[in-house]
Amino acid sequence: MAECGASGSGSSGDSLDKSITLPPDEIFRNLENAKRFAIDIGGSLTKLAYYSTVQHKVAKVRSFDHSDKDTEQDHEPPYEISVQEEVTARLHFVKFENTYIEACLDFIKDHLVNTETKVIQATGGGAYKFKDLIEEKLQLKVDKEDVMTCLIKGCNFVLKNIPQEAFVYQKGSNPEFRFQTHQPSVFPYLLVSVGSGVSIVKVETEDRFEWIGGSSIGGGTFWGLGALLTKTKSFDELLHLASRGQHANVDMLVQDIYGGAHQTLGLSGNLIASSFGKSATADTEFSKEDMAKSLLHMISNDIGQLACLYAKLHCLDRVYFGGFFIRGHPVTMRTITYSINFFSKGEVQALFLRHEGYLGAIGAFLKGAEQDNPNQYSWEENYAGSSGLMSSSPELCPTQRARSGTFDLLEMDRLERPLVNLPLLLDPSSYVPDTVDLTDDALARKYWLTCFEEALDGVVKRAVASQPGSVDAAERAEKFRQKYWDKLQTLRYQPFAYGTLTVRSLLDTREHCLNEFNFPDPYSKVKQKDNGVALKCFQRVIHSLDALGWEERQLALVKGLLAGNVFDWGAKAVSDVLESDPQFGFEEAKRKLQERPWLVDSYSNWLQRLKGPPHKCALIFADNSGVDVILGVFPFVRELLSRGTEVILACNSGPALNDVTYSESLIVAERIAAMDPVVRSALREERLLLTRTGSSSPCLDLSRLDKGLAVLVRERGADLVVIEGMGRAVHTNYHAALRCESLKLAVIKNSWLAERLGGRLFSVIFKYEVPAE
């Protein structure tokens, strides 16, 4: 294996001895458990895929044995936490230049412990060329897979599993990348693959697709003809030339034919009448740049025109472009987009894919893994292990060039359960979870990136403290810091790297990075303690609530929900107070709350509604552990139950900050049931149901929820959705439209956000919405 040496030293040749800029074990991770290899070898890039398992620590909570009732009160913590090893499935995809292929195969061979694997699925034009090398190095039989089938399988996979996969590219606008919302159905669509030639495929279902046309004028034409015209050898160089050229020096434009009259005739003078038309009529020398540009326009326009004609004929408006001609090159994305807009008069959108380069490898892998049926699972992009979309435009980001000699990674985690839409979404196809698009809003982006940078020290400290017995906790925490810091820096320059940048994606990325370094739940101890304290106060709170009159009680319940929500370790303003003043109590929190009228205040309507008939079933998304869920949410739940409303309480499947997890909620409910007959009977009679959201994020994406939750919602006929907390009700879902009544409540624990919304710190959002008839 090549040593990790100075980068760039091998930039000259096609030799296979280039040094690799990353330690190989950080590229080909988890090889020891790897199985099911697939490889896609293109003209210049190799994409390797494998399936592996990741063993990592998870914090498990377990109720103490309550058979001995007397000892219960003596236990300080309400439950015990144990750290266990858990094995999860992960897909690894690595993209590198063909020149590294031998070195990479050597590395894989040396680290491949698992000998079960006998074959490797191979696709791409180079699969044939490297067949012998692969078979010799890896001792695996090469099984060739059809290129287009792989491409389409891969495309279906990313469109289904990566919410922000497809984007439109708008040069010059801000942001240049506009990501499409996750569509409930990805079919039908048109896939235009621009490799050496062009293939146009209509995809109707997972397994049904049809090659409907193609063109021989593609990337190979650009490269081949470009090489002849400009004596430039590499594709990237050609693109670079093209980006600096003036095509009007070579092309015959309408204005060249019509003179100035095009204006009076209503013609656009800048349209190309004849590509390379001027090179036929003049004896002048043409610059390489101008010819490359003219060629780029000629080919892009032609592809765009054909794609539009096919889209129109087959009545398709979603057209995805892929292939090495596109490969994230802003220059070609721009010209293709222009062409599509021009020829379709805006009716067809040119869509590009973030993981376009991986489609073949993903598809080949899926072909080989059919018996494992990977398509029955939901998968999730792991932000910690994925490089994200890099701009390959030299002028867009000069630092990018240094990356060309390195490796691009994509990792996808298998989720235990499939994810689906919340059935109560008004319009799933237009639902956007996030409230603020940070790619769009430069000021907000700057603020939040800085905010996350500043909070990083605290997170590191918390992570170390959560594992007092671990010898390498400090070291791992430091690695986490470095990783997340790097991600934040990447996002400053490439906010589009993982799709639309949002507060949610920043939070999720942090969770992924923490998991990466085996800090599965840094807040487990904090949550344990908070839950213990809050449980002790539960009965007192219930008594005082029960003493109130009906109308007073309703307000107190809502205030309790809000006050509980102040207990949020995720908010820096609060964690500062909590760190310095552990006695910061529930009452104190209530005092901090803004007085009515709140910043957003539809409480009166809610109260009015409560005077009416009870809801059939309420779906509540809980937020934090401790005071929030125990003293805020449960009394509210209890009141709904007393009214005759069934309640589905949905908590996160996995840990995120101090958010209450599903397993914690089970214990908490059990403990409360022991104290409270209303909750006890409701649990027993299944009028109170606890379920998991399917998420491990402090935010909430209603289009990716656990299937079990969706089933419950349908079965019980939920007609009220309560979303609590800044992450779930403000950063996300603030504008979410539902088909039933909804309550979105939160305390704004961030002064910048409060200011943006026109309020102060600890301003209250109480948003009660009734769908229009």
CB 31 within 8 A of CB 92: no
257 makes contact with other proteins (CB under 8 A): yes
Q: Which is nearer to other proteins, 260 or 398 (CB)?
A: 260
* Residue 552 near other proteins by CB under 8 A: no
3-state secondary structure of 194: strand
Site string for other proteins, 338-377 (x = CB under 8 A): ----xx----------------------------------
| Residue the block writes with tokens 């240049």 | 176
| Sheet strands (E) in 182-340 | 189-194, 198-203, 209-215, 252-253, 272-274, 318-322
Rounded Cα gap, residues 632 and 541, in angstroms: 9
Check residue 198 for interaction with other proteins (CB under 8 A): yes
DSSP string, 513-538: HHHHTT-S-TTHHHHHHHHHHHHHHH
Among 163, 175, 218, 655, binds other proteins (CB under 8 A): 218
Number of Cβ atoms within 10 Å of the Cβ of 643: 12
Q: How many CB atoms are located within 10 Å of the residue 33 CB?
A: 17
For residue 260, the minimal CB distance to other proteins (Å) is 8
Q: What are phi and psi of 204, to 5 degrees?
A: -105, -35
Per CB under 8 A, the segment of 297-305, 357-365, 491-499, 644-652 that binds other proteins is 297-305
By the rule CB under 8 A, 219 interacts with other proteins: yes
The one among 87, 313, 426, 674 contacting other proteins by CB under 8 A: 313
Binding status of residue 128 toward other proteins by CB under 8 A: yes
Using rule CB under 8 A, residue 252 touches other proteins = yes
750: Cβ–Cβ under 8 A, 6 or more apart, which residues?
Answer: 451, 571, 572, 573, 726, 761
Residue 536 CB coordination number (10 Å): 12
Phi, psi of 83 (to 5 degrees): -95, 125
Cis status, amide bond into 78, omega within 30 of 0: no
Report helix angle 219-230 to 235-244, nearest 10: 70
277 contributes a contact to other proteins by CB under 8 A: yes
Closest separation in Å from C-beta 224 to other proteins: 3
**Which amino acid appears at position 359 of this protein?**
L
Q: Which stretch binds other proteins (CB under 8 A): 305-313, 453-461, 472-480, 592-600?
A: 305-313
Residue 251 interacts with other proteins (CB under 8 A)?
yes
C-alpha span between 324 and 199 (Å, rounded): 12
Binding status of residue 188 toward other proteins by CB under 8 A: no
Tell me which of 12, 67, 264, 376 binds other proteins, using CB under 8 A.
264
| 604 lies in the binding site for other proteins (CB under 8 A) | no
Q: Which is nearer to other proteins, 125 or 708 (CB)?
A: 125
Please report how close the Cβ of residue 150 comes to other proteins at its closest, in angstroms: 11
248: contact with other proteins by CB under 8 A: no
Residue closer to other proteins (CB basis): 125 or 394: 125
Q: Does 584 bind other proteins (CB under 8 A)?
A: no
Which of the ranges 211-219, 660-668, 706-714, 762-770 carries the binding residues for other proteins, by CB under 8 A?
Answer: 211-219
CB of 223 to other proteins, least distance (A): 5
CB closer to other proteins, 313 vs 711? 313
1 counts as binding other proteins under rule CB under 8 A: no
Told to check if 156 binds other proteins by CB under 8 A, we report no
Dist CA 487 CA 498 (whole Å): 10
DSSP per-residue codes, 603-642: HHHHHHHHTSPPPSEEEEE--BTTHIIIIIIHHHHHHHHH
Would you give the end-to-end CA distance of the chain in angstroms?
Answer: 66
309 binds other proteins (CB under 8 A): yes
Residue type, 660: V
Q: Is 272 in the site for other proteins (CB under 8 A)?
A: yes
For other proteins, which is the closer residue by CB, 5 or 259? Answer: 259
- Compare residues 309 and 610 and give the one whose CB is closer to other proteins: 309
* Contact between 152 and other proteins per CB under 8 A: no
b/e map 585-607, b = 16+ CB within 10 Å: ebeebeebbbeeebbbbbbeebe
SS3 label, residue 1 = coil
- Gyration radius of the chain's alpha carbons: 29
How near is the Cβ of 352 to other proteins at its closest, in Å? 21
Using CB under 8 A, which of 276, 338, 447, 584 touches other proteins? Answer: 276
Q: Binding other proteins by CB under 8 A: which of 217, 326, 415, 622?
A: 217
**How many residues bind to other proteins according to rule CB under 8 A?**
68
Residue of 75, 118, 208, 233 interacting with other proteins (CB under 8 A): 233
Label residue 269 left, alpha or beta by phi (over 0 means left) and psi (-120 to 50 means alpha): alpha
Site string for other proteins, 24-63 (x = CB under 8 A): -------------------x--------------------
By CB under 8 A, tell whether 130 contacts other proteins.
no
Question: Closest approach of Cβ 200 to other proteins, in Å?
Answer: 9
Of these, 81, 97, 111, 125, which contacts other proteins (CB under 8 A)? 125
The residue within the footprint of other proteins, chosen from 15, 216, 376, 583 (CB under 8 A), is: 216
> CB of 338 within 8 A of CB of 401?
no
- The reply to whether omega before 188 is within 30° of 0 (cis) is yes
Cβ(76)–Cβ(532) below 8 Å: yes
**Smallest distance from the beta carbon of 451 to other proteins, in angstroms?**
48
Which contiguous run of DSSP H or E holds residue 235?
Answer: helix 235-244
Binding residue (CB under 8 A) for other proteins from 8, 188, 214, 394? 214
Instruction: Note the residues at the interface with other proteins (CB under 8 A).
Output: 43, 125, 128, 146, 148-149, 195-199, 211, 213-221, 223-225, 227-229, 233, 250-254, 256-262, 264-265, 267-268, 271-281, 286, 291, 298, 301-302, 305-306, 309-310, 312-313, 342-343
